[in-house]
Amino acid sequence: MSLSSAASLAQSGLNTVTAEISVLSRNISGASDTSIYSEKTANVITGPGGASQVASITRATNQAVFQNLLGATSANATQSALLSGINTLNETIGNLSSSSSSSTTSSASSPSALLSNFTDALQSYEASPSDSTLAGAAVAAAVTLAQGLNSATATVNQVREQADSGIATSVQTINSLLTQFQTANAQIVNGTATGADVTNAQNTRDNILTQLAQQIGITTTTGANGNMSIYTDSGVTLFQGGAARNVTFSPTNSYTAATTGNAVYVDGVAVTGASASMPITSGTIAGLANLRDNVTVTYQAQLDGMAGALINTFAESDQTGSGPNLPGLFTTPGATSLPTSTTGLAGQISVNASVDPSQGGNALLLRDGGISGNSNYTYNTSGNTSYTTRLTQLLGNLSATQTFSAASGITTSASLSSYASASVGWLEGQYSNVSSQSTTQSTLLNTATTALSNATGVNLDNEMSKMLDLENSYSATAKLIQTIDTMFGTLITNLENLPA
């Protein structure tokens, strides 16, 4: 062992400390990264001859906690996509409170409240059938009810359109993320093979994965050289063998009650919709697809059921012969017979112009019948001004039990008003349920994020104390070099002083 080899060891020591400081400063700058930043460690080994060197840089990982985070991210995204849609649907209900006396007339906008207002107006009119003001009020309440159903349908369609365009955006994001992923993955595979520092690429890849999990539920597997494969939570390949698969979706711009949205395809396999063979269960896309294809469709079926029941309840029968029943107070534009299917009725229902004073009609036809314009359908043939038989019949029909389509997901046999209340109950039930799910998922996501951060994140104090160590180590090495220098000096001076 010579002084010069000692000097060269000290030299390698300085290099190592500098390299470690560089890693440390990367950690400090990453401490407050909002995306995932894993603490990096410089692995120092003592080489042949005792020289220390940084053999590799690795980062803290915890695969289990990270997978947990991906799952929590997807589940949270599902619920928040659903919740924001249901919040919009909630607009169709307005304020539920009954506390202020004016609430029933001003803020309550649910079909149920409007139906209740209309029934009350009809009841008042039945008590004074000769009063054309009350007839007008009843018809006005009917118009408000029809418009309420129209605007509720518009809201439902709007939610479906937004969900559809949300899916389109999500699909674009996924494709772009997969391209980025391909680059990062290639860097890691090459870097790992050549032993380069791939920690930055690994961080990038993890961040892409969390963004991807936001859009669609995923699972991952890692092969040789850190080559990663991604599958949807239903098992369809998104990325494998270094190549991204195509995610496709063709958006539908405008929705009506009868529209069915297109499915999202991953690698040619349908993952959403009724025909999906491998349906995904989480991520924004799953939430939006559920909203677009189930929740809104069911709610629309309920609204359509109410509209259909209204049209049928107020239908007029032939008083002289055996003609078919015709639409009365409630109808759809241009209808000449009763509707055969309820699909989309809530969007079309309107009050017959012949009975609507604001459209030049006669509100008293509500009492007399013949709204359809055919005199055979007139009930009050004697022209008595206090004829109540028809009004009483209508009120009876309104409170009678009717049959509703099973597609609406609520009771199939109920009075119209119970059905309307049940619809409010259904929507609020969904709201309350999704809202609490969303809170739970968001809490789980926070926990998972904290767990990952604690498992792989940076603690500044820890880095600071490491820095003190490194500083000391650097000072000691520098001191060593200085000492060796002094020893060399001494040696050379002594050599000069030797007798020749």
Comparison of 460 and 492: residue with beta carbon closer to another protein: 460
Among 29, 222, 433, 440, binds another protein (CB under 8 A): 433
- Residue 449 CB-half CA count within 13 A: 15
Alpha helices by DSSP H, listed for 131-235, are 132-194, 199-215
Window 327 to 386, contacts with another protein (CB under 8 A): 382-386
- CA 220/CA 53 separation, integer angstroms: 34
Residues 6+ apart with CB under 8 A from 326: 315, 316, 336, 337, 338, 372, 374, 377
Query: Does 413 help bind another protein (rule: CB under 8 A)?
Result: no
Among 461, 494, 499, 500, binds another protein (CB under 8 A): 461
Q: Which of 300, 299, 330 is nearest to 312 (CA)?
A: 330
Query: Does 465 help bind another protein (rule: CB under 8 A)?
Result: yes
Distance of closest approach, residue 297 Cβ to another protein, in angstroms: 19
Comparison of 80 and 187: residue with beta carbon closer to another protein: 80
Let me know how many helices (H) and strands (E) the chain has, helices first: 12, 13
Query: Does 450 help bind another protein (rule: CB under 8 A)?
Result: yes
Do 370 and 377 contact (CB within 8 A), yes or no? Answer: yes
Comparison of 115 and 209: residue with beta carbon closer to another protein: 115
Distance of closest approach, residue 206 Cβ to another protein, in angstroms: 15
Distance of closest approach, residue 93 Cβ to another protein, in angstroms: 7
- How many angstroms from the chain centroid is the CA of residue 215? 9
Do 207 and 219 contact (CB within 8 A), yes or no? Answer: no
- CA 251/CA 166 separation, integer angstroms: 9
Among 81, 93, 198, 295, binds another protein (CB under 8 A): 93
Query: Does 124 help bind another protein (rule: CB under 8 A)?
Result: yes
Do 79 and 437 contact (CB within 8 A), yes or no? Answer: yes
- CA 116/CA 109 separation, integer angstroms: 11
Q: Which of 90, 79, 88 is nearest to 428 (CA)?
A: 90
Query: Does 428 help bind another protein (rule: CB under 8 A)?
Result: yes
Neighbours of 262 (CB within 10 A): 17
Among 74, 215, 350, 449, binds another protein (CB under 8 A): 449
Window 22 to 81, contacts with another protein (CB under 8 A): 31-33, 39
Interaction pattern, residues 174-213, with another protein; x per rule: CB under 8 A: ----------------------------------------
Number of residues that bind another protein (CB under 8 A): 68
- B/e letters for 452-478, b = 16+ CB within 10 Å, e = fewer, are bbebbbbeeeebeebbeebeebbeebe
Using the rule CB under 8 A, give the single segment among 123-131, 165-173, 226-234, 238-246 that binds another protein.
123-131
Comparison of 386 and 483: residue with beta carbon closer to another protein: 386
Query: Does 318 help bind another protein (rule: CB under 8 A)?
Result: no
Query: Does 267 help bind another protein (rule: CB under 8 A)?
Result: no
Q: Which of 87, 74, 439 is nearest to 295 (CA)?
A: 87
Q: 3-state class of 230 per DSSP?
A: strand
Using the rule CB under 8 A, give the single segment among 229-237, 277-285, 334-342, 419-427 that binds another protein.
419-427
Comparison of 122 and 285: residue with beta carbon closer to another protein: 122
Write out the residues near another protein by the rule CB under 8 A.
31-33, 39, 90, 93, 96-99, 104, 108, 110, 112-113, 115-117, 119-120, 123-124, 126-128, 130-131, 382-388, 392, 395, 417-418, 420-429, 431-433, 435, 446, 449-450, 453-462, 464-465, 468
